[in-house]
Amino acid sequence: MSEEMYYPRAEHPVGIEKQLLGNAIRLFQELGYENVTVQMICDTCHVTKGSFYYHYRYKESLLMEYYRIMCSGELTQVVTAMLSDADAFDRLWRLFRYYIEGSVKLGKDLLHSLLKINLDHDGLIFPIKREKILSRDPEFIRVYLEVMRDGQENGSIREGDPAQMMEYYMCGLVGALSGWCTGGDDPEKMLRWTFEQLYRPVGKENKR
C-alpha cells in the first residue's frame, strides 16, 4: 500500500477534514479505536459516508494523520531547541526522543492500533529500511544526517554507516513501543540504552 492511499488530500486538514479528524480522535480516545466505526464518525459531523471517503480513504487514515501532525509539529520545536545544544550526541538524542514522546502521547490503545496498521502495511508509519525512511520523513533524515556528520567529525558520535545505524535504531523503536503496549518497560528508558549502544563512541557506552 502506498502512503498516498492513506493520507488526506491536503497537507494540513481544514474545514470538514479537520472536523472529521478531531471528532474521530475524540471517539477513539473515549471508546477505543476498534469500537469506533466510520458511520459513528460521520454521525458526529453530520456528514455522509460519501463525504467521509472523499476526504479520507480509510478509518486508518485518521489515526495516521493525527500522528503525522503531532510529530511534525514537535519536530519543528526540537530542531529549534537543538540550536542551543553544542554536543552532537545530545542533539541526536533530542531528535530521536521526539518520536518516542509523540508515540507515547497517543496512549497504549491508540499506539497499539497504530502499530497494527504499521505491521499490516509494511512499515508505512514506522519505516525501518533506509529507502522507506527517506521517502516517509525527508526533513527528519536531513537533520539526522547533518547531526551525524558533525558528531562523527568531532568524535562525539560513533563511526559507522548512518543509514545502517538508523535501521537498527528503528527496529529497537518498534520493538520498545510494542513491548510498552503489552505491559513492558518505559520505552524511553529502553531506547536511551539502545541509543547509547549504537551511537556513543566505543568505550564510552553506558552500562545497563
> What are the tens digits of pLDDT across the range 112-144?
999 999 888 888 888 887 777 777 777 788 889
Residue 83: phi and psi, rounded to 5, are -60, -25
- 121 within a domain of the structure (yes/no): yes
Q: CA–CA separation, 174 vs 83, rounded Å?
A: 28
Render pLDDT for 167-208 as a digit per residue (tens, 0 to 9): 999 999 999 999 999 998 899 999 999 999 999 998 765 544
The dihedral region occupied by 183, where left means phi > 0, alpha psi between -120 and 50, and beta the remainder, is left
Is 46 a member of any domain? yes
Kindly state whether residue 96 falls inside one of the protein's structural domains.
yes
Q: What is the pLDDT of residue 12?
A: 46
Q: Which of 22-36, 64-78, 96-110, 139-153 has the lowest mean pLDDT?
A: 64-78
Does 165 reside within a domain?
Answer: yes
Q: How far apart are CA 201 and CA 205, in angstroms?
A: 7
Question: What residue numbers bound the domain in which 13 lies?
Answer: 3-199
pLDDT (tens digit per residue) in 3-14: 444 444 444 455
Q: How confident is the model at residue 84 (pLDDT cuts 50, 70, 90)?
A: low
Q: Considering the domain boundaries, does residue 72 fall inside one?
A: yes
Give the C-alpha separation, 55 to 63, whole Å. Answer: 14
Q: Which three cell numbers stand for residue 119?
A: 505491521
Q: How many domains does the chain have?
A: 1
Half-sphere exposure of 44 (CA within 13 A, CB side): 17
Per-residue confidence (pLDDT) for residue 30, from 0 to 100: 94
Helix locations, 59-137, DSSP H: 59-82, 88-105, 108-120, 130-136
Whether 155 is covered by a domain: the verdict is yes
pTM of the model as a whole? 0.80
**Domain at 81, CATH number:** 1.10.357.10
Residue 11: strand, helix, or coil: coil
pLDDT tens by residue, 25-51: 999 999 999 999 999 999 999 999 999
Domain for residue 207, yes or no? no
Residue 160: alpha-carbon gap to chain centroid:
24
Answer yes or no: is 148 within a domain.
yes
